[in-house]
Amino acid sequence: MQKLFIQADMHTHTVASSHAFSTITENAKYASEIGLKAVAMTDHTNIMPDSPHIWHFRNAKRVLPGELFGVKIIKGAEVNIADYSGALDIKSSDVDWLDWVIISYHHHYFPDFKPADPKTVTDGYIKALSDPRVDMIGHPTAIKFPVQWERLVPAAKEAGVLLELNESSIKTGKSPAAAVAEMLYACKKYSCPISVDTDAHFWNAIGATPQCQKALSETDFPVDLVANADWDSLREKIAAKRPGIDI
């Protein structure tokens, strides 16, 4: 059995995003077997080419149990930042159905995509942070969307939004080591919490974060700034942000 660094994996995908290959049940069962306390189901929203219908997210709140195999099931979404104005690709009324909101840039929905300059990308992130229901920025170290860390990190901290260290993005080379180190050093400088997640697209990747742990070690990053290393503490923060949530 793998040795866990995190207690909750807050970024995973299911077959509802058809470029992923596991069901909610399979994800939850494996999370239980390896000792995770919580797992977030965060499939892509509207403008991603293979995203599920919005009813997928609305109905999750109605029909999914709060716990499977002893693991808390967080009904979330990876919401797309639709453009550099910070607009999100989901209506405000639909965000209210979610327990956990990741916001991310993806190049797939930009016509004739070309990487923007760091100021433009950062402006978009900061504008998106104005939505108080946002919980985390997904894979902000992605090479195709370079940022100004000295602007983004303080803004995220002020907004109470986590920055993600994404195992899949590092492992696939989408997040270069230099960007990862820059983010971690800036987060350490400003005491900005992060979340270490897998972005798993198949059940056997859930909870495994060796590349993230290597980066944390190399930057001497303090564990007490890793929000999902302690599920009880993170759960309290989520519950405080969404009164009445059953987690």
- The residue type found at 166 is N
Structural domain contains residue 1 = no
The domain of 23 spans 8-241
Q: What is the pLDDT of residue 183?
A: 99
Check residue 63 and give its pLDDT: 95
Say if 51 falls within a structural domain: yes
Distance CA 49, CA 64 (A): 25
Q: DSSP H helical segments within 72-176, as ranges?
A: 92-95, 118-128, 149-159, 167-171
pLDDT digits (tens, 9 = 90+) for 77-103: 999 999 999 999 998 888 889 999 999
CATH number at residue 214: 3.20.20.140
Residue 3 maps to a domain: no
**How open is the CA angle 200-3-16, to the nearest 5 degrees?**
15
Determine the pLDDT at residue 47.
87
Report the candidate in 15, 29, 135 with the shortest Cα–Cα distance to residue 73: 29
User: Is 247 domain-assigned?
Assistant: no
pLDDT for the residue 2: 57
CA-nearest of 168, 206, 245, 234 to 29 is 206
Tokens of 196: 């270490």
Pair type for strands 67-68 and 194-197: unpaired
Q: Is the pLDDT of residue 1 over 90?
A: no
pLDDT digits (tens, 9 = 90+) for 217-235: 999 999 999 999 999 999 9
The Cα 28–Cα 53 span in angstroms is 22
pLDDT in tens, 6-64: 999 999 999 999 899 999 999 999 999 999 999 999 999 988 888 899 999 999 989 99
Q: What average pLDDT does the segment 170-175 reach? A: 98
User: Is 246 a domain residue?
Assistant: no
Greater model confidence, 246 or 186: 186
pLDDT digits (tens, 9 = 90+) for 112-123: 888 889 999 999
The C-alpha atoms of residue 36 and residue 24 are separated, in whole angstroms, by 15
Looking at residue 112, its pLDDT comes to: 86
Residue 2 lies in a domain: no
Alpha helices in the chain (DSSP H): 24-34, 54-63, 92-95, 118-128, 149-159, 167-171, 177-190, 210-218, 231-241
Q: How many CB atoms lie within 10 A of CB 59?
A: 14
Number of independent structural domains in the chain? 1
170 in a structural domain: yes
